[in-house]
Chain A
Amino acid sequence: MPDVIGAKPRPSQEQAPPPTDPVETGPLPSGAADPEASSPGAATPLPEASRYRPVNPLWELTLARIREFVREPEAVFWVFVFPVLLAIALGIAFRDTGPQKVQVAVEAGGPRGLGSGSGRLMEWLEGRPDIEVLLLSPEEAARALRTGRVSLVLQRDQSEALATGNPEAGETVSALPALPELGSEGLVYRYDPTRPDSRVARLVVDDALQRGMGREDVARVRDEAVAQPGARYIDFLIPGLVGLNLMGSGMWGLGFAVVQARTRKLLKLLAATPMRRTHFLLSFMLSRLIFLALEVVAVIGFGWIAFGVSVHGSILDLGVISLVGSMSFAGLGLLVAARPRTIEGVSGLMNLVMLPMWLLSGTFFAAGRFPEFWQPVIQALPLTALNDALRANINEGLPLASSLPDVLVMAAWGSVSFLLALRWFRWQ
């Protein structure tokens, strides 16, 4: 019998191992239980087990990422449950309950209270379906206005403001012609004009009182109410939540996993293997694809079932937009995690990168509200691009071509940050 192991422990592969040969050549002492049964490198029939075909390294690395993620309950919560909870909370806060009533307080008692003179005035206000009136003491009224419980407080005017037209400091004062009930005195609307709800309240209350006193409309007008899904706040919100979720899970998911592997010296060990570095980083991006679909479906499905938010555009286009957006944040996540050695370090960087986008990228309110000269920066952010593209698809039903600039912005962020991450990645 030829002596294979001893005579030539490292066969001819020593110089150049054939790339496709799955047969082992190294001096591994296989078959501990029965050393004769399987001699590595033997020309005799190979042990059955060595017919094992290894899978592609990229797939195996990706699989490891996915397994690690799904076996971490906290991560699953943040990715799937949290955005749904957020949608529930915001959906309830901004639910449709018909036209909203303006909340108004009438001050009773105190030097500026309306007292007995308020009888007819209260009648006029309560007679309107769009006004809710509260009769409050001066202290209560001040507090209610401060905390936003009411939008406006009605008081008796005791100052000379009516005569002089000189409003009290810090207050906006308006006056009515004297009511018979009030003698010669007028009324004060006390409100903050920078609050939209207060300005509406002022208009509505003033209208009610003026009409009560007999004002006639001059022009003939007719209201036509429009209330179809697609224009509500929740319709605006759901695509934003999808975008926000793709950013958060992409960046946190990858950032933490990378830095944890670094602190555990797993990256260093991998750097000592023939693993291709692009494979390693790509495995992180690919693992995101698996969750991407689930994340998008979770939030959109919830919005549809709970609030009737429907997708007006093509589902395929929506898939493409989500995919590009997700890859963009996966790249950014890898870049942020490329250098830090500690979880604390990467957390700080993550927040630094994500916080501006939380605020500026139009998740909870339109990005257009920010000043004009910020817009070039805001529009260049990947989350703005993703949110805009998602809304164009979900709310407006526009084709993908109309969101091409947004898709290009996201693709640029993804590929540039991936390449930079590859270049700057710290393995030790």
Chain B
Amino acid sequence: MPVTASSQPANSSGEVALSCASLVKRYGEVVAVAGIDLEVRMGECFGLLGPNGAGKTTTVEIFEGLTIPDSGRVEVLGQGWGEGDDRSLRERLAVQLQETQFAERLTVVETIAMFRSLYRRGWDPDEVIRLVELEEKRDARVGKLSGGQKQRLAIACALVTAPEVLFLDEPTTGLDPQAKLKLWDLIEKFRSRGGTILLTTHYMEEAARLCDRVAIMDHGKVIALDTPNALVESLGADQIVELSLEGFVGNERFSRLPGVRGVRSRNGNYLLTVSSVAEALPALLAEVEIQGARLVGMTTHTATLEDVFVNLTGRKLRDA
């Protein structure tokens, strides 16, 4: 069957789709990208995860050939920008930008057809409209679409050009959960057929679900890079316990307890990484009692990329 193999993407081929080395980009005093090395393989979905201002967008736009780095080397499908035929390189890429608003007075199909016409090869706009499930909005003005529909239109404009590499900059920011799921579905479909994706996000669920590998970025640098699973496993813990206490308890009191791998605290809020909640919890509560503190609140969850970020930076992704 032709489809079966598609579930196993070609990322095992090891061919490099995108790479950069010692990438630096400054805007005046601000260093947006402070020396980044990355390698994205063919058929891979690669995520840049980090808070706003971490340098994700700048990095992606350098790959897209929209921003020129101050120093460092970039290669896209084996070619550097401005070193060969940029236009034929662009034929093989498609881009979705964070803030693009399409012309409101054109219809969905007109917008997609316009983008299609800019490329030598690609798909029938109607076929892509079916794929992104905008059939009912085919002849509706872009201005009348919801946020999720607009975002699917942006993806459609990218997919209609049959790209080999797809760049997505925060594709689901501001979307409701349902719209988000639909978009994830689309991205997964593209990847499952062997497409290469570089995407930025500040949603750890998104990175965990979509990406083969994730680079966690902060202050223009990559602070961790691995598969989502490996990153979470690097915490050495499966579970996270968050405690809110009245009264002070030193971190070291908790870190000595059985099953506790790490403790971070701030203003009476404690974040503990534990290998097993069942093992750690009784001792934990006992320790709170002994120290004369009062438990105000407690939650536990399975460790996520968010916890990896917190562990690396001491800040949460959202409020970083």
Contacts and interface: CB of A to CB of B under 8 A. Distances in A.
B194 A28 contact: no
Which 8 residue pairs across A and B have the least CB separation, nearest first?
A: A6-B5, A9-B194, A26-B162, A52-B124, A60-B117, A29-B189, A27-B193, A71-B105
Contacts of B194: 5-6, 9-10, 27
B101 A266 contact: yes
B164 interface: yes
Nearest to A264: B101
B103 A64 contact: yes
Nearest to A266: B100
Interface of B: 1-6, 8-10, 42-43, 64-66, 77, 87-88, 90-93, 95, 97, 99-103, 105-106, 110, 113-128, 130-131, 133, 141, 159-164, 189-190, 192-195
A39 interface: yes
Contacts of B192: 29
B192 to A, nearest CB: 7
Interface string A234-271: 00000000000000000000000000010011101111
Interface centre among A13, A31, A52, A273 (most CB of B within 10 A): A273
A264 to B, nearest CB: 4
B305 to A, nearest CB: 26
A72 interface: yes
Given A20-B120, A273-B119, 17 more contacts: A3-B1, A3-B5, A5-B193, A6-B2, A6-B4, A10-B10, A17-B91, A17-B121, A27-B164, A29-B193, A52-B124, A57-B118, A59-B117, A64-B106, A68-B105, A265-B97, A268-B100
Question: Which secondary structure dominates where chain A touches chain B?
Answer: loop
Interface in A1-57: 1-7, 9-10, 13-14, 16-17, 19-33, 35-36, 38-40, 42, 47, 49-52, 54-57
A270 B100 CA distance: 10
A50 B194 CA distance: 19
Interface string A85-128: 00000000000000000000000000000000000000000000
A187 interface: no
Contacts of B114: 60-61, 63-64
A23 B239 CA distance: 50
Contacts of A16: 88
A137 interface: no
The prevalent SS among residues of B at the interface is loop
Given A17-B91, A47-B127, A26 B163 contact: yes
A169 interface: no
Contacts of A14: 77, 92, 164
B90 A274 contact: yes
B162 A24 contact: yes
Contact of B115 (A13, A273, A428): A273
Contact of B100 (A52, A64, A72, A265): A265
A272 interface: yes
22 contacts: A5-B193, A6-B10, A9-B43, A10-B42, A10-B194, A25-B162, A26-B92, A28-B193, A42-B2, A52-B123, A54-B113, A56-B117, A63-B110, A71-B141, A266-B100, A266-B101, A270-B118, A272-B64, A272-B95, A273-B95, A273-B161, A275-B118
Given A30-B131, A268-B66, A268-B97, A10 B118 contact: no
A64 B110 contact: yes
Interface residues of A, number: 66
A67 interface: yes
A268 B65 CA distance: 11
A7 B102 CA distance: 36
Given A60-B113, A268-B97, A272-B95, A30 B123 contact: yes
A272 B66 contact: yes
Contacts of B88: 16-17, 274
B284 to A, nearest CB: 48
B159 to A, nearest CB: 5
B105 to A, nearest CB: 4
A182 to B, nearest CB: 74
Given A67-B110, A266-B100, A266-B101, A32 B189 contact: yes
Interface in A273-308: 273-276
A9 B10 contact: yes
Given A3-B5, A52-B125, A32 B117 contact: no
Contacts of A52: 123-127
A265 B99 contact: yes
Given A52-B124, A268-B100, A5 B3 contact: yes
Contacts of A25: 121, 162
A54 B122 contact: yes
A239 to B, nearest CB: 33
A28 B117 CA distance: 17
Contact of A269 (B65, B97, B124): B97
A2 B4 CA distance: 12
B115 to A, nearest CB: 7
B242 to A, nearest CB: 39
Nearest to B77: A14
Contacts of A57: 117-118
Contacts of A17: 88, 91-92, 120-121
A343 B64 CA distance: 27
- Chain A CB count within 10 A is highest, among B2, B3, B100, for B2
